[in-house]
Amino acid sequence: MTIDLISDTVTKPTPAMMEAMMHAEVGDDVFKMDPTVNALQEKVAKLFGMEEALFFPSGTMANQAAIKLHTQPGDQLICDKYAHIYHYEGGGAAFNSGVTCKLIDGDRGMFTAAQLEAAIAGRADIHVPFSRLVCIENTTNKGGGACWDFSELESVQKVAKKNNLAFHLDGARLFNALVAKKETPAQYGALFDTISICLSKGLGAPIGSILLGSKAHIAKALRVRKLFGGAMRQTGFLAAAAIYALDHHVERLTNDHLKAKELGLVLQEASYVTKVEPIETNIIIFYVDEKIGAAHFIEKMKDKNIFLTPMGEGRIRIVTHLDYTDEMHEILLRELKEDHSF
């Protein structure tokens, strides 16, 4: 048995999801003639209370399109030092939009309104890049699945609005935050100018993300998606999977969170573990004794068909997900209780 916990992107469609995909009504989405894609976009826009939505092949492309919507070459976006758009999108902000990133030294991928105020001080100076966009990530990947406090998001939004800064949410794992914090999509739709949500992580769809925004934003995003090579034809097969995921896989995210916390409790008691970061959702980040080393520990677990992810600086990541079964969970709990001080 393989226990793959490198990410929640490793999930495969369930039989019921495959059934929905195989019976999808499709058309040419480039011409806006795929009824299932149209239904998905309308469904998500309504869910978030935003004007329109657009299907993208990936979250990275959706985020990069959003950056391009809000900026001009030479501008600057502001984000946390842990932000996915800075670390894991191939330098796309610079390559695609010609913008630089100003990093805020936040806590587990989250910063305060006061830190944003400080970051935009001196913005009128012609010698520095002009700040145009603030990007938030919720939950935070490098921050170990941490969830923003919504009141802090409201404070950050007020600073952004006061300074005429666009406000984008990288919501790759937003539904994990919604479930964990008992919040609603509409709360976020009312706060942000644009939002990207991933359908192929915790929700378990095979491919796809959605970008939400105003009609004007999405009209421009349609052109940007084409420019980026993201326009697809009979996309309804993928949209059907996404609709199924939204209807059936949101509330079950609590199971992933529970398993993550149970793993965290075992790791906290393990003699070979030196630190476990706070666990709020489905991501666990922990450190092992330097005498063992993260790379060695990951290789030893791989020998037992258990796959984990190195996160740099001695950090190891576990991500629970739809395909991580109760049987796998019991096996991993037993394995983590073993003495790994080898």
283 in Cβ contact with 139 (< 8 Å): yes
Identify the CA nearest to 140 among candidates 170, 160, 120, 166.
170
Counting Cα atoms < 13 Å in the Cβ hemisphere of 322 gives 24
Structural domain contains residue 37? yes
CA dihedral 8, 14, 19, 23 (to 10 degrees): 0
Question: Residue 129 gets which letter from DSSP?
Answer: P
Kindly report the pTM of this predicted structure: 0.97
**Residue at a domain's end among 205, 223, 248:** 248
Note the Cα 15 to chain centre separation in Å. Answer: 25
To which residue do tokens 């800075």 refer?
86
pLDDT tens for residues 35-47? 999 999 999 999 9
pLDDT tens for residues 282-316? 999 999 999 999 999 999 999 999 999 999 889 99
68 in Cβ contact with 132 (< 8 Å): no
User: What element of type H or E holds 319?
Assistant: strand 315-319
Structural domain contains residue 133? yes
To which residue do tokens 């409790």 refer?
265
Split at pLDDT 50, 70, 90, the class of 125 is confident
Structural domain contains residue 151? yes
Which residue range forms the structural domain that includes residue 262?
Answer: 252-337
Number of domains in the chain: 2
Take residue 82 and report the two structure tokens written for it.
């842990």
Do residues 86 and 181 both lie within one domain?
yes
Average pLDDT over all residues of the chain:
97
β-bridge partners, 168: 135, 194
User: What element of type H or E holds 53?
Assistant: strand 52-56
Do residues 303 and 183 both lie within one domain?
no
Task: Annotate 128-156 with b (16+ C-beta within 10 A) or e (fewer).
Answer: eeebbbbbbbbbbbbbbbbbbeeeebebb
Residue 341 pLDDT:
65
Take residue 28 and report the two structure tokens written for it.
């040419």
CATH of the domain at 258: 3.90.1150.10
